């Protein structure tokens, strides 16, 4: 950034007279500083993968092309519809990118969703003008209409940002107004001069180039501030979410302890089984919250870690059963879906341990979780199987049915004749 500000300072000194440098040299200096800023922000976009930086870079890239035509570094030999050697389509392209950047930078999806929809429609309208300008023949009337249309959109957007900055106290809108104010004033004066409503002898190119460099410097600082603020907010949310998951897990463990005490004091075998099943269900949800505490993505569960942790407890209690887990690493799933899957797997494993392995050898349970167009869970054991109609009214099967149909909205396939096979597919 120090080099960029050095270019900016040197360029501002060049404006004060031809004795220091020629106009062509000043233009080269301007495009050098402009190009450095473009490369700088392109690098930031590659690093951050931010849509705001993408629209910001595209806006200034289109503005770079406009200035190439305006300074006559490039000659317009392609389109008849132009204003002072600049194709009108390139003007409207800059407007499209300018509106897109304004929408992303001001974060309208958070504060003004209706206004964001208007911005999207305005982008589509300008895209139509880009296409039409390629076929239009330049006339004074069309040039005046195009200038008025572009100026009206820019001026309206500036007024809207002033409203956000000083009435809604939007800090990003204040950065926006501060960075664009000088450029807007210069463009207004140039437009007035174009319509012969203002007379002055100063060279327009110098003012526009200086205004662009000032605007880019201000917005580069604003975008850096916004990105750092977003990163800080994200870190705080991660800490709060992990702390919340930790407290929920502790509360669930307390419930498990209470139920365990009730089991020890209860003499009825069926009641003990019901309480133990309840403990297992609560334990599976508690395990999800434990996995969330170590997840890199807020609110998402690493299913590879979860599945291997889930069967670890069963392996310790049932050493005669082999558990085979097939799941790719870093398989992330949001909390609601992972919680439902954990309860389903708990019921399936519990059923297999209770009923499947009575007269079998080389017992094993296979769990496969994969993701292609849909998420697919396959669970199977090599047990003796059972009549699924005889257990359809059990609490476990009813819970599985509720979770698969209402929570996950998935489709199931069950085969329990000579073994147990269960498959579930649902949308991501």
Statement: residue 10 has pLDDT above 60: no
Co-location of 176 and 315 in the same domain: no
Residue 356: the pLDDT is: 75
Report the alpha-carbon angle 290-291-293, nearest 5.
70
pLDDT in tens, 41-75: 888 888 878 888 888 888 889 888 888 888 887 77
Whether the Cβ atoms of residue 280 and residue 252 lie closer than 8 Å to each other: no
Rounded to whole angstroms, the Cα distance separating 211 from 12 reads: 10
- CA dist., res. 38 & res. 330, Å (int): 35
Average of per-residue pLDDT across 243-269: 83
List the structure tokens of 377.
Answer: 């869970």
* Residue burial 202-229, b: 16+ Cβ < 10 Å; e: rest: eebbbbbbbbbbbbbbbbbebbeebbee
Domain span at 427: 301-428
Together in a domain, 27 and 150: yes
Which of 234, 252, 287 finishes a domain?
Answer: 234
Query: Are 74 and 163 members of one domain?
Result: yes
The mean pLDDT value for 398-404 works out to: 85
224 and 319 in a single domain? The answer is no
Residue 257 lies in a domain: no
My answer on whether 129 and 206 are in the same domain is: yes
Q: State whether 137 and 215 are in the same domain.
A: yes
Does residue 75 lie in a domain region? Answer: yes
pLDDT tens across 160-171, in order? 888 888 888 888
Count of structural domains, the chain: 2
> Do 350 and 222 reside in the same domain of the chain?
no
Task: Show the tokens assigned to 240.
Answer: 């709060």
pLDDT at 20: 45
Average pLDDT of the chain? 80
pLDDT, residue 19, reads 44
Last residue of a domain, one of 179, 205, 234: 234
- Work out the pLDDT band at 139, boundaries 50, 70, 90: confident
In whole angstroms, give the CA distance from residue 72 to residue 66: 10
- For every residue of 177-243, DSSP letters joined together read HHHHHHHHHHHHHHHHHHTTS----S-HHHHHHHHHHHHHHHHHHHHHHHHHHHHHHHHHHHHHHHH
- Do 213 and 328 share a domain, yes or no? no
Q: Say if residues 381 and 365 touch (Cβ distance below 8 Å).
A: yes
Q: Is residue 256 part of a domain?
A: no
Residue 5 has pLDDT above 70, yes or no: no
Report yes or no: 4 and 36 within 8 Å, Cβ to Cβ: yes
Q: What is the CATH number of the domain that holds 406?
A: 3.30.565.10
Asked if residue 114 and residue 9 are part of one domain, the reply reads yes
* pLDDT for the residue numbered 67: 86
281 in any annotated domain: no
* H or E stretch covering 396: helix 395-402
Whether pLDDT at 309 is above 70 = yes
Whole-number percent of the chain with pLDDT over 70: 89
User: Residue 55 domain-assigned?
Assistant: yes
Instruction: Say if residue 226 is in the same domain as residue 336.
Output: no
Please state the rounded mean pLDDT for residues 100-119: 81
Banded pLDDT at 22 (limits 50, 70, 90): low
Q: Is the pTM of this model over 0.85?
A: no
Residues 332-380: tens digit of each pLDDT? 888 888 888 888 888 888 888 877 777 777 788 889 998 888 899 999 8
2 — pLDDT class (breaks 50, 70, 90): very low
Nearest 5°: the CA angle 106, 107, 111 is: 105
pLDDT over 80 (residue 25): no
State residue 76's pLDDT score.
67
Is it the case that residue 91 has pLDDT exceeding 80? yes
Q: Tell whether 30 and 143 lie within a shared domain.
A: yes
End of a domain among 189, 205, 234? 234
231 pLDDT more than 80: no
Q: Please indicate whether residue 105 or residue 394 has the higher confidence score (pLDDT).
A: 105
Q: Which residues, at least 6 apart from 318, have a Cβ–Cβ distance to it below 8 Å?
A: 353
pLDDT digits (tens, 9 = 90+) for 409-421: 888 888 877 778 8
pLDDT at 13 exceeding the cut of 60: no
49-63, 71-85, 260-274, 327-341: least confident range: 71-85
Q: Are residues 310 and 230 in the same domain?
A: no
CA dist., res. 100 & res. 108, Å (int) = 11
- Does residue 138 form part of some domain? yes
- Cβ(1)–Cβ(184) under 8 Å? no
User: Which three-class secondary structure state does DSSP give residue 364?
Assistant: strand
pLDDT at 300 over 50: yes
264 inside domain? no
Cα 335 from chain centroid (whole Å): 18
Overall average pLDDT of the 277-285 stretch: 82
Residue 223 lies in a domain: yes
Q: What is the mean pLDDT of residues 6-30?
A: 58
Run of H or E residues at 271: helix 269-293
CB atoms within 10 A of CB 193: 14
């Amino acid at each position: 950034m120090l080099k960029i500000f050095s270019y900016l300072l040197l360029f501002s000194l060049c404006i004060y007279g031809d004795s220091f440098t020629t106009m062509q040299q000043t233009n080269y200096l301007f495009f050098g500083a402009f190009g450095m800023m473009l490369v700088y922000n392109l690098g930031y976009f590659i690093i951050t993968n931010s849509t705001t930086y993408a629209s910001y870079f595209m806006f200034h890239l289109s503005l770079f092309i406009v200035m190439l035509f305006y300074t006559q570094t490039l000659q317009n030999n392609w389109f008849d519809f132009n204003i002072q050697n600049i194709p009108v389509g390139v003007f409207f392209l800059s407007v499209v990118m300018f509106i897109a950047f304004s929408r992303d930078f001001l974060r309208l999806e958070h504060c003004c969703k209706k206004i964001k929809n208007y911005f999207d429609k305005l982008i589509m309208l300008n895209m139509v003008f880009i296409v039409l300008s390629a076929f239009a023949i330049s006339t004074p009337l069309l040039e005046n209409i195009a200038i008025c249309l572009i100026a009206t959109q820019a001026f309206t957007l500036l007024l809207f940002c002033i409203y956000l900055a000083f009435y809604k106290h939007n800090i990003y809108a204040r950065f926006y107004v501060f960075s664009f104010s000088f450029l807007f004033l210069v463009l207004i004066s140039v437009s007035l001069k174009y319509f012969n409503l203002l007379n002055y002898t100063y060279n327009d190119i110098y003012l526009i180039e200086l205004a662009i460099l000032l605007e880019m410097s201000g917005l580069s600082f604003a975008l850096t501030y916004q990105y750092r603020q977003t990163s800080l907010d994200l870190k705080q949310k991660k800490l709060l979410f992990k702390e919340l998951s930790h407290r929920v897990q502790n509360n669930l463990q307390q419930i498990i302890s209470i139920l365990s005490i009730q089991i020890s004091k209860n003499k009825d075998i069926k009641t003990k089984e019901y309480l133990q099943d309840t403990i297992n269900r609560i334990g599976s949800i508690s395990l999800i919250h434990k996995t969330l505490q170590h997840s890199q993505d807020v609110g998402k569960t690493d299913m590879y870690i979860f599945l291997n942790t889930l069967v670890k407890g069963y392996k310790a209690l049932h050493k005669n059963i082999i558990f085979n887990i097939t799941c790719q690493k870093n398989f992330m799933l949001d909390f609601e879906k992972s919680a439902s899957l954990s309860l389903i797997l708990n019921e399936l494993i519990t059923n297999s341990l209770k009923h499947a392995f009575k007269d079998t050898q080389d017992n094993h349970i296979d769990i496969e979780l994969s993701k292609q167009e849909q998420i697919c869970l396959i669970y199977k054991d090599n047990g003796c199987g059972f009549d699924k109609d005889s257990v359809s009214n059990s609490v476990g099967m009813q819970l599985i049915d509720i979770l698969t149909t209402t929570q996950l909205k998935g489709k199931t396939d069950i085969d329990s004749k000579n073994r147990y096979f269960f498959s579930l597919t649902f949308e991501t």
